Each structure stands twice: as C-alpha cells, then as structure tokens.
Chain A
Amino acid sequence: MTPDAPVIEFRNVSFQLENGHPLLSGVNLNIHRGETLVLLGRSGSGKTTALKLINRLLEPTAGSVHVDGRGTLEWDPIALRRRIGYVIQEAGLFPHFSVERNVGLVPWLERQPPAQVRARVRELLALVGLDPDGFARRYPSQLSGGQRQRVGVARALAADPPLLLMDEPFGALDPITRVEMQREFRALQQRLRKTVVFVTHDLREALRLATRIALLEAGRLVSVYAPAEFLAAADPVAAAYVSAFRTEDDSSLS
C-alpha cells in the first residue's frame, strides 16, 4: 500500500435501519494517516452511524467501508476492533473493574504478561495526566467526569492502535474541563500522530481539534472543509451552522 493511501475509505456508503429508515446515504470520504477528521453534524445527522461503520459495530447496507485498504466485512471483526481505539461519551468504563483493569483490558485479552500490562497501564495513566499511584486501584464510580474520560482515552490507547474513534468524548463534561481536555487532546495528538475520527456537534470543538471537518446533514455528507475554510463556506448548511454558533456567542455575551 502506498504511504498516502487513505487509512479509512467510505465508498458510496449507505446505512438504513431494518424498517427502511435511512441513517446514512451515499457517503464518499477518505481519511488519511495521522489526521484528525471531525465528523460534525446535528443529532440524527448520521455521524455516530458513520463512526460505527468503521469498527463494524454496524455494517453498511450499500457501498463499503475500507480500513487499511480492506473492506470491513472482509476483516475479522475482533481483529479489526483491536486495531481501533474506541472512546464514547461517558467513557463506557466497566463499573466492576478498577481503573487498572479497565485500561489494561485489551492487552490482558491479548494475553500479554501481567507485569508488562501493569507497566503499560502506568505509562498510559501518566500520559493522560492521572497519577498512576493514586488512580490505578480506584473504581469508575470514584472518579469525576473528566477523570473518567481520561481513563477512557487511556483504555482506547492501551493496545497502541493506529486508529482512534471518538464519539463525543467530551460532550458530557463541564465547559472548563472540556476545554482543558481539548487542549490535552491536541498535545497528545501532536505526540502520537494517530489517525483520529472524532464525532461532535460542537463547531467550536471541531475548529479547535480538526485537521479537516466533514459536515453531515440528514445522513448526507455536505462537504469536507479545512477549519479555516469552514467559517467562510458558501454552502447553506455550513453557513447556518456558523450563524447558529455566532448567535449563541452574541446572546451569551449580552
């Protein structure tokens, strides 16, 4: 495979529910190595659906999604998902496992020696800004929202996957923690250079984090923008998005 071939490729992808209701229609999109592609859109625009098609939690009803040049249906789903870190809103941590077990779960499932898993967990906790001595033995219920989200990110990075899918990971956090997490995410991404697909409905978050922004509306891909282009985009959907955020800013200032 050539080095600049897309890591993830949507080829005319549609997904509809069993009752025929379409969630995604005819999406074509290439995602490149090392970039942070933000899927931006309103609730129901299909962004989470698009994300789940990548790690085959869903399968396209038409078209195909390719990861590393291979269609997701040709992958063994378990092997595919182990290559892809997955972070969701509220983190989805296992409440009956300590932080240490949560983070070390995938390496443990892959039967890495316990000492090695423990070392990796400590390294990851430090990476996401949590003191390993203080947090390794705690349970998710003993963490704040921000800490839980950090653990979620550490867990997704545990097996050092080249790809990272993040579904509104900071959506449930208070504004101050959110901005802090966004800043740390950028710093982390500059070091790790993962290929990240990031779902959000927050334009400000998209502008802060994205290499490129893919705008979805009612299951269709409107267009893909560089962050700088987005604010000046002529497309009515993008313009509506921008003006909605400007209005919100104005009203919150007055």
Chain B
Amino acid sequence: MNLIEFFLKNRGEILTLTGEHVWLVGISMLLASAIGLPLGMLLTRWPAGRRPILGGANVIQTVPSLALFGFLLPMPWLGARADRLAIAALTLYALLPIIRNTYTGITGVDPAVREAARGMGMTDRQLLFYVELPLAWGVILAGVRVATVISVGIATIAAAIGAGGLGEFIFRGLAMVNNQLILAGAIPAALLALTADFILGRLEGRLRARA
C-alpha cells in the first residue's frame, strides 16, 4: 500500500486528529496572547518587571517539552485531563515570543511620535492604545506567528500524554516501526505549520504596511 492510498483510507482519522491539533494550538495561542500581550504592555511601563518576567519566560523555553508535561502532571486541576495539560504547556511555551515582541514592538515606536503624542496632552493610556499599539501590531503579530509555528511542532508531543492531535500517528508509527503512520502525522503537521505561517505572515504584512 503506498502513502497516498494510506492517506485516503485513513482520511477520517487524519482529519479528526488534525482537528484536535488545531484545537490544542488555537486555544493555547488565544490563552498565550491573552496573557502575553498585557504582560508585554506592562513591561513597557514597569522597567523593574523586565528581568523577572522575561527571564521567567526564557527559563520556561529551555525546559524540554516532555519534562514540562511531566512537571505539570501533579497540578490539581490541570493534571486531571490530558488536553488541559497540553494546552497549559503550549501556552507557557508561547509566552516568550509574544511578551518579547509586544515589548519590542511598543518600545520600537519612533520616539518623535511618542513625544509628539505626550506633548499634545495624551494620557499614558491614550498613548498606548491610539499610538503605540497600532504602530506595534506588525511586530507583535510576528511574535504570535513564531509562537504558533513552534506550538504546532510541540503539540505533536502532547500525544505522549494522551492529549490527542497528530502526534498520535507519530507515536503509534514509532512504536510499530511504521513509516507511513509516522508520515500520516508528520505531513499534516508540517502543512499546518506552513499554513499558519502563511496566513499570519499575510496579516502581519498588511499591518506593517499600514504602520
């Protein structure tokens, strides 16, 4: 049986697991953005928080993903379900690029523009929401994009703790020494990463052009 036949025969399961994969990554990116964007904005106003928060996010990035799943396992509510656990880990991994790019994007706004805004009597909040954020969206989105592509990859490992997703095929294929099974997980995952990269890249380009 060649690869195409294998894909056609198993298309139902491939689609289901791809759906799970998208769900894991999607929810994690939403959560990571909901946490990372405000944190990044906060850091531009709170210099003392820069080292601990960016340092903390950095340390998380260095923990191997399998180990991170293991660390989170004993957590009371999180450890109860595999998908929760996977989403928590993916969210943690995505924090660094999102926080860092939010911070860099905002601090990278032309100082003359910022000064003009302050000089004409904008409050700090107005400066942030009407000037800095709109001008920083391109850079911020680049962070979300990097985070998403990384997460698509890491999410395959979530299958090791039973959270589903395309990693199911990969681990099953490894156990059964079946290359077709491995590819049934790896190819859709790669396509998913490329698609996310392309869509977010287009969006980013548009935002940058506006700024």
Contact of B115 with A92 in the complex, beta carbons under 8 Å = yes
A95 at the B interface (CB under 8 A):
yes
Number of interface residues of A (CB under 8 A): 26
Contact of A88 with B134 in the complex, beta carbons under 8 Å = no
Known: A93-B116, A95-B211. A106 touches B134 (CB 8 A): no
A91 vs B120: C-alpha distance when bound (angstroms): 12
CB neighbours of A94 from chain B (8 A):
113, 116-117, 131
Contact indicator per residue, chain A 148-163, by CB within 8 Å of chain B (1) or not (0): 0000000110000000
Number of interface residues of B (CB under 8 A): 19
| Total inter-chain residue pairs, C-beta < 8 Å | 60
Contact of B126 with A92 in the complex, beta carbons under 8 Å = no
B135 at the A interface (CB under 8 A):
yes
B121 at the A interface (CB under 8 A):
yes
Chain B interface SS verdict (over half): helix
Known: A109-B121, A109-B126. A86 touches B116 (CB 8 A): yes
**Contact residue among B110, B112, B123, B210 (Cβ-Cβ distance under 8 Å from A78):** B123
CB neighbours of B131 from chain A (8 A):
94
Known: A88-B112, A96-B210, A106-B120. 9 other contacts (CB 8 A): A55-B119, A81-B121, A84-B119, A89-B112, A92-B115, A92-B117, A95-B113, A109-B121, A109-B126
Q: Which residues in B have some Cβ–Cβ distance to A below 8 Å?
A: 110, 112-113, 115-123, 126, 130-131, 134-135, 210-211
A sample of 8 cross-chain residue pairs with beta-carbon separation below 8 angstroms, ordered by A number, consists of A78-B123, A88-B112, A89-B112, A92-B112, A92-B116, A93-B116, A95-B113, A95-B211
Q: Which residues in A have some Cβ–Cβ distance to B below 8 Å?
A: 55, 57, 77-82, 84-86, 88-96, 105-106, 109, 155-156, 165
